[in-house]
Amino acid sequence: MKAIETRLPGVLLLEPKVFGDARGFFLESWNRQTFAELGLNLDFVQDNHSRSSKGVLRGLHYQLNDPQGKLVRVVSGSVFDVAVDLRKSSPHFGQWVGYELSADNQRMLWIPPGFGHGFQVLSETADFLYKTTAYYAPQWDRGVRWDDPAIGVQWQLDCAPTLSAKDQVLPLLQDAEVFP
């Protein structure tokens, strides 16, 4: 596993070793020992799978209390995946990073607690898998607008995104409950 540091400390782009031949491929997407050697001593408690169509944009989501760390990957299709630092005490507060994750490039992104997360589907459909370090707690579910100019995510849009009703009414960063 190769870990690539991003401009946001703690957020890592991960490239697993892929073993392929004429039959297909094999890779380890999670190995506790390998991740510990990378300095990531993680205990995942939930594994999620979402499927979305082209143009769907989900996010920017986070869980205020009992925040979730997320290990995200795409097993079918491709997405533009984004992490935003939402820790007021961080010198990187409000900054973002984004990467294409796809079934072809096999990359994963580690998003630690304290960050918002979202993704935009680039392919006709995408199957998105993510492990979390805390259980989903709907009472602490929060979000920030995907198009907040204070954050300035440069989404790869060629038309208006398809948003959930919840995502259509998320607050701007300046009005959102964020981490200390």
By the 10 Å C-beta count (0-12 exposed, 13-18 middle, 19+ buried), 84 is classed as buried
Which residue numbers are catalytic?
61, 130
- pLDDT for res 115: 98
> What letter does residue 166 receive in the DSSP assignment?
H
Percent of the chain with pLDDT over 90: 100
Q: Which domains does the chain have, with CATH numbers?
A: 2-175 (2.60.120.10)
End-to-end CA distance of the chain: 32
Q: What stretches in the chain show pLDDT beneath 50?
A: none
> Which residue reads 């805390």 in tokens?
134
Total-model pTM = 0.95
What CA–CA distance (Å, rounded) separates 20 from 13? 21
